Each structure stands twice: as C-alpha cells, then as structure tokens.
Amino acid sequence: MSHNLYMANLTEKEIINKLKELKGIRPSTEWVLNTRAGFLPARNALHGNAGGYEKPKFSFLELFSFRRVLSASLVLVLIAVSTVLVSDNSLPGDSLYAVKKMKEKFQASMLASGDEKTNFQLKLVDDRLNDLNKITDQNKTRSLAVGIEEVKTTKAEVKKDILNSIQGKGKKEAVKLAKKFAPVLKEIDAKQTEAYASLGIEPKEENSGLEAQYKTIVESEIKYLKTCTLSEESSSALKSAIDYYESGDYLSALISLPKDGN
C-alpha cells in the first residue's frame, strides 16, 4: 500500500497518534541556548554589571560549592558573551546569524522610537548589504537567497518606519525629516543596485508608500519655491530638482531642492 493511500485510510485515532509524533520537531539546542543568552547577558552588559551576578546569602560551609557555582556561572557568561560577540561576523545562513539578529533586535528595542532608532535601522540595512557583498565574495551561493531576503526585509522595515515618522508630523517637520533621511536612503539604493548588479539582478521592491510620500513632499516644495524669489544658484538647484522630479527620482529631487525661499 502506498504511503498516500495508507495515510488517507487512517482513522481519527491513528491520525492523532501520528500527530503526537510531530513532537519530534524541536529547535537545535545550540539555537535555544544562544537565543536565551542573547536576551539575558545583553541587559547585564548595558548596566556594566558583568555577568549580572548577584551576591548570594551563604554560610562559610557553603563557600566551596559557592565558588564552584561562581566559576561555572562565569564560564557560562563568558561563553554566552563570546557567542554574541562572535556572531557579529556571521552571515545570513550561518548558525550564529540568528544570535546576531537577536542582538540587533534587542539593541533596537532599547532605543526610543525616533531619529535614533531610524538611524540604527538604516545602519542595519547597510550591514545587510555588506553581508550580501561578503556572501558574494565568499561564493556562498546557498546563502544568497537568504542574504537578498534579509536586505529586502530590513529595508522594507526602515522605509515603513520613516513613513510612519513623516506621516505623524506637521508639514514643516515632515519636510525636515524627509530631507534628513533622503541622502542615506539614496546611498543605500545606490549600494543595493551595485550589490545586485554584481549578481545580475535588479532590485524589486514592494511599494511601501514612502515613495508616494516623498513625491507629495517634493511636489509641494517645488510649488512653493516657484512662488519665491530665488538667487541664481537656488534657481539652478530648483531646475535640477524639477528635472529629477520629472524623471521619478524623488530622493535626488528632495536633496537638490534649494534651502532658501524668500
């Protein structure tokens, strides 16, 4: 009897017994321990409390066992800290990469939302692009798909974050924020295009809404600046911005916009 037929003829009780066998699905012990270590020692490091060790209440007779426990704890802390540090060099697809990501997520969670967090996330996109370049350099073809996915996901997250911060602000503040992040986003786009070009692919991204937001801001700024008296230099910058706008490059348009408008 084929497996398919056998499975199709199972009774409910037999299916339930088979389902119980799925309990064999478990994460690797290494991942479980590394992830756990990624949470707890990181906090200790933040407060300069090496090892997070808390002085226990013990009697003189317990001194020997206490020393052993202390030594074991220190060894465990050292292993955990080393794992987290070593994971910094891991690439997508490596076993320690999950620890590196965990550490990054933890660091992000410790930052208050706002510019500081967005800058951190922009740095992560840059790191993911560097990871992808390393994967290419080291010819780790099996990790390529994961590396590309990581770039895509991290970039989508930061774009969403920037969009949220811009949308929540008044017009003046929104323009200021959009201008602030535009050069970094443009730099990331260029780096991504270069990294993808070496792989023979083109960056394809889902519409995050940020592009539309930038378009609206540029449109509004151009409209306003056209009503202003501009210096020769500013007029030239505005013309350049309009050219970029018409070609659909809203980031470059925003960067090119003149500062003055009297």
Residues at the contact surface with other proteins, assessed by CB under 8 A? 2-8, 10, 12, 15-16, 18-27, 31-32, 35-36, 38-40, 43, 47, 49, 52, 54, 93, 98, 101-102, 105-106, 109, 146, 153, 156, 206
For the CB of residue 155, give the shortest distance to other proteins in the complex, in Å.
Answer: 12
Q: Is the Cβ of residue 54 or residue 202 nearer to other proteins in the bound state?
A: 54
Measure the CA–CA gap between 68 and 77, rounded to whole angstroms. Answer: 14
Backbone angles phi, psi at 167, to 5 degrees: -65, -30
Q: Is the Cβ of residue 1 or residue 61 nearer to other proteins in the bound state?
A: 1
Measure the CA–CA gap between 56 and 45, rounded to whole angstroms. Answer: 20
Q: Is the Cβ of residue 14 or residue 173 nearer to other proteins in the bound state?
A: 14
Tell which residue, 199, 220, 103, 74, has the closest CA to residue 144.
Answer: 199
Judge contact between 237 and 200, C-beta under 8 A.
no
Q: Which residue has tokens 């050292």?
A: 78
Compute CA distances 201 → 159, 193, 195, 197, 251, whole Å.
21, 9, 9, 6, 22
Q: Is the Cβ of residue 23 or residue 223 nearer to other proteins in the bound state?
A: 23
For the CB of residue 36, give the shortest distance to other proteins in the complex, in Å.
Answer: 6
For the CB of residue 47, give the shortest distance to other proteins in the complex, in Å.
Answer: 6
Tell which residue, 203, 204, 216, has the closest CA to residue 250.
Answer: 216
For the CB of residue 240, give the shortest distance to other proteins in the complex, in Å.
Answer: 36
For the CB of residue 19, give the shortest distance to other proteins in the complex, in Å.
Answer: 4
Q: Is the Cβ of residue 25 or residue 61 nearer to other proteins in the bound state?
A: 25
Q: Which residues contact 219 (CB under 8 A, 6 or more apart)?
A: 245
